[in-house]
Amino acid sequence: MSSKRAIVILNRGSGRQDGDQAENTIRSAFARHGITAEFIHIDKRNDPASAAREALSWGQGIIAVAGGDGTISGVSSAMVGHDRPLGIIPQGTFNYFARSIGIPENLEGAVDVIAAGESRPVHVATINGETFLNNASIGAYPAILKTREGIYRRWGRSRIAAYWSVIKALMDFRTSLKLTIVVDGKETQLRTPLVFAVNNAFQLDQMGLDGQDCIARGDMVLLVAPDTYRFGLLRHAVALATGRAKHHTDYEMLCGSEIEIRMKQRKRYVARDGEIAVMRGPYQLTRASSPIHIFVPSTTGKTVR
């Protein structure tokens, strides 16, 4: 690696390590490769996309992001259209994006991948122009994420806490959405408590779901939950979490390159890679026009992500 400088965008609130500890570990890991790490912190005044634009303005150097899928997604949104590769240092709960391209979940291993300097283009998707790497959803899932943050604050971040937040949120969830969904020009009307768009074949595989062939063709998968009472919704969620979900029983699957979701409500909470924001409909989902470039292990190859 010719560059001797790394600009690391760090979410100090991600992961199980203390923020100072994570920063020191990352700094030491880069130093082993003769690379000096400089940091841009994400906080209330500096969101991931703004931090990425700041990093791009700093001039030469490796750009890397340390955080969970939501942080990585926000940084990636500012990297679309740029040829500069992005280094990933996973610090989240599930780390679906990093795992999907073979990046180690430990800090030192992830920095080793970045220092090796090998990169590949990775296609991302958008909802109303906003980037997501793994998934975007409307309905019950944003409610789950709100509940999860409260549980994390009380009990700490873990996958067990994340699964418990699903149960807790769905026990109280009662909203059913009346939607018109248009997939590649074909219109369907339905009621559902949840629509979940996926752009990551690895995540589908981890959940035991169909659709990897859809992703391989360059399309997206849209999962639609059955319109059922809350205990029925909880039963379907448990089936998904345990990898036992059945097509046509626990979910319906739509596949296409251009997806539009319409509903009467003008605005709703939308979750993108674990982050929640209010977004105005209708909701247009598509692949981004340009890929982002990601540092990957040399053994990754061209497998479907």
Beta strands in the chain (DSSP E): 5-10, 36-41, 62-67, 86-90, 119-122, 125-127, 130-132, 135-139, 177-183, 186-192, 194-198, 220-224, 252-256, 258-262, 267-272, 275-280, 283-287, 292-295
> What is the share, in percent, of the chain residues with pLDDT greater than 90?
57
Residue type, 136: A
261/196 Cα distance (integer angstroms): 11
Q: Which tens digits make up the pLDDT trace of 108-156?
A: 999 999 999 999 999 899 999 999 999 999 987 777 777 777 777 777 7
90 and 139 belong to one structural domain: no
Q: Which tens digits make up the pLDDT trace of 239-254?
A: 655 556 677 677 899 9
257 and 149 belong to one structural domain: yes
24 Cβ partners below 8 Å, 6+ apart?
Answer: none
69 and 38 belong to one structural domain: yes
Which of 12-26, 55-69, 155-169, 225-239 ranks highest by mean pLDDT? 55-69
Collapsing DSSP states into helix, strand and coil, what is residue 203?
helix
Mean predicted lDDT score pLDDT of the chain: 86
271/274 Cα distance (integer angstroms): 6
- pLDDT level of residue 207 (50, 70, 90 thresholds): confident
Q: What is the pLDDT of residue 221?
A: 95
64 and 176 belong to one structural domain: no
Domain CATH for 226? 2.60.200.40
41 and 107 belong to one structural domain: yes
In sequence order, the β-bridge partners of residue 192 are 177
Residue 71 within a domain? yes
Residue-number span of the structural domain to which 162 is assigned: 135-272
115 and 142 belong to one structural domain: no
> What is the share, in percent, of the chain residues with pLDDT greater than 70?
85
Report the number of distinct structural domains present in the chain: 2
pTM: 0.85
Q: What are phi and psi of 50, to 5 degrees?
A: -65, -40
- Over residues 197-225, mean pLDDT: 90
Domain CATH for 28? 3.40.50.10330
99 and 166 belong to one structural domain: no
